[in-house]
Every structure is written in C-alpha cells, then in structure tokens.
Amino acid sequence: MAIVPMKHIEIIAMQSDAKKVVDFLQRIGTVDVTERFKDDEDESVALISTQTSIAQFDKSLQTVKRAIELIEQYGNVKHSLLEGFMGRKELSAEEFAARTDCVEKTMRVAYEIEALDRKIASEKTVRIHTENRLDQILPWENLDVPMQFQGTAKAPCAVGQLPFTCDEAALKKLFDEKYVAYMASNAATRGEDFSPENISIPDFYVEIISVAREQTCLFIMAHKAFFDDIMYVFRNLGFVAPSDPTKHPPAYRIAKLRARIEESAQTILDCRDKMGTFSEELDNLYFLSDYMLMRKDKYEMLGQVLFSQKTFILDGFIAESDCEPLCKELEENFTLYVECRDPRDDEEVPIKFKNNAFAAPVEDIVEGYSAPSKNDLDPNPVMSFFYYLFFGMMLSDAGYGLLMIIGTLFILLKLKPEGATKQNMRKFLYCGISSTFWGFLFGSFFGNVVQAISTGFFDGSVSLKPIWFDPAQNPMFMLGVSLVLGFIHLMAGLALKFVNMWKHGDRIGACFDVGFWWVGFAGLILVIIPMLVKTSLPLAEIGKYVAIAGALGLVCTQGRKSPTIIGKIIGGLGSLYNVTGYFSDILSYSRLMALGLVTGIVGMVANTIGTIFLSGIGRLIIFIIVFVVLHTVNMGISALGAYVHGNRLEYVEFFGKFYEGGGTMFHPFKMNTKHYKYKEDK
C-alpha cells in the first residue's frame, strides 16, 4: 500500500513497425507517454504535427456521437437506469479486427444520419420563415383581389393598413374630421374664406378586410378626381401599403404557404422516421465511436514522439513491476531497442497508487485534491479508515446504511462495473457499512421508525435501543466524541509527517517538528483527564510539566533555521501560536455531531408526520407515502452532506498537517473506450 516505484522507458523502433508498436502499447496500457523534447542542434529527428489528423478524428467522432443521439432519440431506444454502471463489452483481438474492417461502412451511415439532421435543420428554418410570411399575409385572407391591384382608369384603388383598430363608422367619422381640416388648410393657403358648411365630403368605397393586433387592413376605391385628396388624408392617418403585395388574391398565396409548411413538417417527420430505422446500426456506431476515440488518442500520443527518416523514439514512464514483462514482449514481437532506467532528479515522475480493496476506492479523493509530490507518502491507507469512519458517523443511520450496502453490492456483483465506477461503488459500500455500524450504536434505523410504528399502530412497547447512546438525548457527549476523534485524526496526520521526514533522512526535524508537539499535547491530555474522570493520581500536575516541556522544546527548536539568534528566538516563540490553529482544527470536527444529529432528527420528524393523520388503513397509506418521500430526501441530502464535509475534513484538517501535493498522476496511453475493450484489458 504505497506509491508505486516508476521507471523511465525509452523505445526506439523502425517507422515500418510504428503502427503495430503503438497499437500494442495502447492495448497493454502500461506506459505514460511523455513528450520527447528535440535538441535544437539535432536535425536528424523532428516532432511531427498531428493536429490536422486529430481535428479530423475529433470531427468524425462528433458526427458519430450525434448520429447515436439521433438514433436513440427517434428510434425509441430505451436505456436502463442501471446501464451506466455496467462495464464494457469484451472483444477478442480477432473480433476487434473484424469490426475495424467495417468502420468505413458504418461511417457512411453516420454521414447519412448527419445529412438527415442537416435536412431537418434546413426544413425547420424554411418552416419558421414560411410561418412568418404567413403571419404577415393572413390578415388579408378575405381580400378577393390581388394586393397589387390598382383599380381602373376612372376608379383607382389602394390596399394598406392603419396602425390602429376601428370599425367603418369610426373610420368614416375620423376621415370626415381630417378631410375638413385638410380643406381648411388648403383654403387658408390660398387666402380664401373657409366655411365648413360649404365643404362636400367626396364619396368613396372603403372595405375593412380585418382588424387585429393594433392594425386595420383596408381596401379603398374612389373616383380619380377625388382619389389623391382622399389618399392624402388616409396617409396622414398612418395608412401604409403592405411590404410584400401579392400578384394574386391573398388566399392563393396563403394556400401555397400552408402547403409549404405542411410539406416541411412531413419532410421532418420522414427524416426522423428514417433515423429510427437505423436502430440496428447502433451497436456498430458504438464501436465506431470507440474506434475514433482510440485513433484520436493515438495521434495525440504520436505528436509527442520524435521521428527520423526510418525510426521513431518514444519516451515515457512505467511502473517498475511492469517494466520487465513489457520489455520482454516488445523484444519478442518487434525489432526495436528498449531501455528502462531510474528517473533523474530533474524529471517529473507521474504518481501511481497501489492499494488494497479497502484503501483504493478513496484514491480519487486524493487525486481531486492534488497528486502527491515525489516527497509525499501515500495518504490513502490512513485516510481511508478515517474517511469511512467520519462518513458513517455523519450519516449515522442503520437503515440508510443497509440500503447503501444492498445497492452497491447489487451493482458490483450483478452489473460488474469498471474503473472509477467500480471504485466509487466500493467506497460507498464501506461508507454504508460504517453508517450501519454507527446507526446501531446510536439507535437510529430510519430515524425511530421502530418506535413510531409501535406507537402509531400498536401499543408502543417496542423500540430500538441504542447500543451506545442516543445523540439526540446526549448531544454534549456526542460533541465530545466528535472532538476526540478529530484530535486522533490530526495526530494521525502528524504521525504521517513524522514518518515521511524520518524516511527522507530528516530525523532530527521529525523529532523537533513533530515530537515536541506530541509531548505538548500529551501534557494537555494529562491535564484534562482528571476533569473528566476521578483519579487519585496527580495527572494534572504531571501533565502541566509535560506540556511545559513540549512548549520549551518547540521554542528552542522551531527557529533553528534562522541565521541569527534573535530570529531563532522569535521563530521558536512564534511556533507556539500554531496551537490556536490546532484548536481551531479540532473544533471543525463538531460537524460530525451536527450532521449526525440532523440525520436522526429529520428521520424522527418524518416518522412522526406519517403517524399523526387518520387511523387504520388510511394512516398506513399516509405513513408509507411520507416514509418513502421524506426518508428518500433525508438520505440524499444527508449522504451528500457527509460526502462533502468528509472531503473537507481530509483536505483542510488532515492534509494540512503533512501533505505537500503538486505532483502529476500516472495516465497511461491505453484504450479509453466507453463501450468495448480487449479481453486481455485489465
């Protein structure tokens, strides 16, 4: 259970074998390929740009993924909720090669689906544009002459709309007022006397075609002698001609537009139906997406390799245990030169963990924080114990824990997940076991469901007693337990710091920087014990002197790296201030109590709500509904809180005591596929 020792590997092979060697390395998946930097003075080798090929493969990959989405959408392909937990299908090398021969045919299918998708998009655009044109002309549907019709030589006409709504009577009244005002203005311009009684309103024909959306559509016809004056008045009222007048009666164009909309809708429907018929190609498309992803990864790797006229040079890192078997297989199958050596001090070596089934599931938590540096220890073995312990204490319900155990075991045994999914299921399996353990210690099984059912439906004589204590009845003791566990957690972090410093030869620093803190804390513990437990031993007196000894040790040693006496004194005295940081860290573990209490209390409230309404079968129905809904919500929120705060306790309090981080994780060149894998893939 440690960080795996790594070796640097160099492979020099003929270009004629490049494809086979790269395929072999990708299938084995044990080498983290690093970029080989070219010597500026060496013109015999060069890096080859693969960005064009990568872009092409990425484009093809997106086409295939889009084709899969469309087939699944329009082919009514149903996916199980548990399908995402299932591992990849295995293919032998022969089966893989046979499917590879069909990728061009499958790619043509993807292109055909892409063409259908483009046609659908085009038809949607046409339909939107046609609907907009239809909306513009629909108000003129009842006009029985073309919109471009201009009347006869003696009776011209006009088609247009006013920017307001009105009926014929209101329009006639408004026109008369405006016409009289217009004639009065003309008379004033000519210097003539004006009398409204002498004004004759000309006769004309006006038909309101439609009134809607703050506009009135009109057809106007008048004798040519009065037409210009009449239209002048209407234009002053806001009359405008339509922007796209028809050569035929509007009903004719409306019929054509509606037919085009129906045609677009049918074309879209036909394209979608045709996409659905490709459902039998889904399996081939899944393989093609994996194949394109492999090719893309391959060309990204080739961009890090040096090529000469006849050879290529590949650099990388490999686990020490994998080095000899890989070299042997390479030399047996190819004509090449391969060398493994210890990494140099100036090389950034990737980190690979090797842990047992208990510690390995929390490796992603460490990776999410920061990969260890080359000077760090593997924190997973120690961290995993406390992580599971704290998660269970914060969830602290045996019922929820049993559900987690059953669910994760079903997925692990039945669906056989791989990789990160498998490790996450293992992690939550152990978290479920821990939650069940703490739940029985605290007497929480779906809150107090046993007592609630006994009281609500029977005589109330049955309840689940806590094996240890009930946190809701004794919260201060729960707080004390949380703080004690937090103190132990911090001391474990200091222990790792001590081991790491000792391992790297800084034994004096380990004793000074960690040992004196232990002495000081031991003294404080001896002082506190008599406050909690009656004893005749003078522990408090002894503890006082032990704590003083630890403090004096820190004062005398923590400024040792300063070049001046004053600096050494100030550094030593300043180190004592760190004790406030330790107390602050310990108080952070009060969240163990807070989240544990919330889970149990919310569960109790849910059970109480389910047993206070109605009676008999009615109460039972309500109880079942409330139980399922509220406990599902409570379990989800509490598990999320336990996960987040569990991570925080590791990241901030635990890692802060010893962990440096800043390294890079081991990412081997391998088949990062989603659906298929080689049978020998481990």
Residue with tokens 């924080």: 369
Task: Estimate to the nearest angstrom the gap between the alpha carbon of 387 and the chain centroid.
Answer: 23
Task: Give the C-alpha distances (Å, rounded to integers) separating 233 from 174, 186, 193, 532.
Answer: 10, 13, 21, 102
Work out the average pLDDT over 342-356: 92
pLDDT at 575 over 50: yes
Q: Do 9 and 117 reside in the same domain of the chain?
A: no
Here the tokens at position 635 are 């379990």
Same domain, 480 and 549: yes
**Is residue 635 within a helix (H) or strand (E), and if so which, with residue range?**
helix 616-648
| pLDDT score of 43 more than 80 | no
In a domain, 665, yes or no: no
Bridge partners of 211? 216
Question: Please, which residues bridge with residue 169 across strands?
Answer: none
Residue whose C-alpha is closest to residue 370's, from 61, 655, 71: 655
pLDDT at position 682 is 45
605/551 same-domain check:
yes
Q: What is the pLDDT of residue 37?
A: 65
> For the domain that residue 167 is a member of, what is the CATH number?
3.30.70.2750
pLDDT for residue 572 = 80
3-state secondary structure (DSSP) of residue 503: helix
> For residues 371 and 659, is the Cβ–Cβ distance under 8 A?
no
Question: How far from 552 is each of 520, 548, 558, 576, CA to CA, in Å?
Answer: 9, 6, 10, 9
Picking from 124, 140, 136, 133, the residue whose alpha carbon sits closest to that of residue 263 is: 124
**606 and 521: one domain?**
yes
Determine the pLDDT at residue 38. Answer: 57
Tell whether 311 and 287 lie within a shared domain: no
Q: What pLDDT is stored for residue 32 in this prediction? A: 95
- 522 is a domain residue: yes
For the entire predicted model, the pTM comes to 0.84
Question: Same structural domain for residues 223 and 346?
Answer: no
Decide the pairing of beta strands 336-341 and 311-319. Answer: unpaired
pLDDT at residue number 49: 86
What confidence tier does 76 reach under pLDDT thresholds 50, 70, 90?
Answer: confident
Boundary residue ending a domain (337, 354, 371): 354
Separation of alpha carbons 605 and 599, rounded Å: 10
CA dihedral of residues 337, 340, 346, 352 (deg, nearest 10): 130
10 pLDDT band, cuts 50/70/90, is very high
Which of 241, 270, 291 marks a domain boundary? 241
Q: Is 664 inside a domain boundary?
A: no
| Distance set, CA 78 to CA 71, 83, 279, 285, 645 (Å) | 11, 10, 11, 16, 37
User: Quick one: what percent of the chain has pLDDT higher than 90?
Assistant: 72
d(Cα 75, Cα 166) in Å, to the nearest integer?
A: 53
pLDDT in tens, 101-146: 999 999 999 999 999 999 999 999 999 999 999 999 999 999 999 9
| Chain centre to alpha carbon of residue 645 | 19
Looking at the structure, tell me whether residues 503 and 594 fall in a common domain: yes
User: Over the stretch 284-326, which tens digit does the pLDDT of each residue have?
Assistant: 999 999 999 999 999 999 888 888 888 999 999 999 999 999 9
Cα(620)–Cα(617) distance, rounded to whole angstroms?
A: 5
Q: Is there a single domain that holds both residue 466 and residue 510?
A: yes
Q: Over 80: is that where the pLDDT of 159 sits?
A: yes
Q: Tokens standing for 402? A: 């049993």
Residue 578 placed within a domain: yes
Asked if residue 187 belongs to a domain, the reply is yes
pLDDT at 39: 59
In a domain, residue 673? The reply is no
Residue 195 lies in a domain: yes
Mean pLDDT value of segment 261-269: 96
User: How far apart are alpha carbons 289 and 71 in whole angstroms?
Assistant: 14
Residue 658: what pLDDT? 93
Which band of pLDDT confidence, cut at 50, 70 and 90, is reported for residue 188?
confident
161 and 297: one domain?
no
- Pair 349, 367 in one domain: no
Q: What is the CATH number of the domain that holds 315?
A: 3.30.70.240
| Residue 677 in domain | no
Residue 626: give the domain boundaries: 355-657
> 487: closest CA among 515, 521, 463, 512?
521
Same domain, 576 and 464: yes
Q: What digits encode the pLDDT tens for the residues 577-609?
A: 888 889 999 999 999 999 999 999 999 999 999
Which residue, of 302, 321, 340, is where some domain finishes?
302
Residue type, 259: A
Stretch 504-529: mean pLDDT:
92
| CA–CA dist 85, 98 (Å, integer) | 27
Indicate if 324 and 450 belong to the same structural domain. no
pLDDT at 471: 94
Calculate the alpha carbon distances from 414 to 42, 45, 251, 400 in Å. 56, 52, 65, 21
What is the predicted pLDDT for the residue at 537?
Answer: 84
When divided into structural domains, the chain yields a total of 4
